[in-house]
Amino acid sequence: MQRVALGRTALAVTRLGLGTAALGGMFEAVSDVRADATVMRAHELGWRFIDTAPLYGHGLAEMRTGAALVKLPRDDIVVATKVGRVLEPASGAPPASIFKEVPPLAPRFDFSAAGVFRSHAESMERMQLNHVDVVHIHDPDDHYDDAIAHAFPTLARMRADGAIGAVGAGMNQTEMLCRFAGEADFDCFLVAGRYTLLDTSASVDLLPLCEARGIAVICGGVFNSGVLAGGDTYDYASAPSDVRERVRGLGRACARHDVPLKAAAIQFPLGHPAVTCVVVGARSPEEVEENDAMFRFDIPTALWADLRKENLLPAHVPNP
């Protein structure tokens, strides 16, 4: 499993990393034992990058990540988490959430310096770590001013002090990430769902900008939350009919080349020179194994040509 530099930082990540939203019970509850086995299997297969967040399972994903990490060589793994939400005791009924069987904690946005310090400290406590390698500002869609004026300078100071290795931002959109790239010294961005077989919008603005500025791009949501992996969910909601039809077209084209659609979806983002790695979620060792096999699957160049010919991929996007 190839390791590559994360932008201009001293960190090196594998081209495939483990996302932990599923381990926090996204859409479906997961047991502690199953979550632990999932992380361990990813490590056995050579994955050396793991991404988590306080939001995922309202702290559950971080706790499960940490429970596995204490059994693994810490310096061999790059760990990323996020700030921008703090978890507070939930009063009354558990808050509505896409995460199942979560602790009685409710996330609250907080991009202040105090909120960043608190979130980071609580993340390390949940993961039983004394340092985290990458910290992203998480979903600041409606909080740009606070994120750029308070959260980023706080993380930048932590980076300068050696407390963290890289400062990033994780979002489901590209416009604000482009603003961040132009106004602050970010090391990396985690962009979810915007550079996939279904949505290549990041190739228009974000990816060229990041390539020019040396900002590493981590692609998440490469299955667009499930529809490209055999599910019926697109961007965390039921997939509309036009998306389902496009997925069927992609599937037919892949089948003609004996390529699983899932393999094409995992490998496609890595064709762009701005993309450093892909992060995929899993809720079982078996899903890790399947994702690993899809990542290593030999895809003929002719498939990408056919997808362009059928207008299923734009002409300007590069092949993996």
Structure tokens at 27: 């859409």
Residue 13, amino acid: V
Q: What is the DSSP letter of 236?
A: T
Which position has the token pair 């900002």? 215
Is 56 among the residues known to form the active site? yes
Q: Across 90-228, where does the E strand assignment appear?
A: 105-109, 134-138, 166-171, 188-192, 216-220
Residue 53, amino acid: A
Of the residues 56, 144, 234, 236, which is catalytic? 56
Q: What is the DSSP letter of 260?
A: -
Residue 293, amino acid: A
Rounded CA separation 151/64 (Å)? 26
Instruction: HSE, CB side, 13 Å, CA atoms: give it for residue 265.
Output: 25
Which of 4, 13, 11, 14 has the alpha carbon at shortest distance from 292? 14
Structure tokens at 30: 């997961």
Rounded CA separation 100/104 (Å)? 11
Rounded CA separation 268/262 (Å)? 10
Which position has the token pair 């930082």? 9
Residues 6+ apart with CB under 8 A from 93: none
Which of 265, 283, 287, 155 has the alpha carbon at shortest distance from 220? 265
Rounded CA separation 52/211 (Å)? 25
Rounded CA separation 110/150 (Å)? 10
Active-site annotation, residues: 56
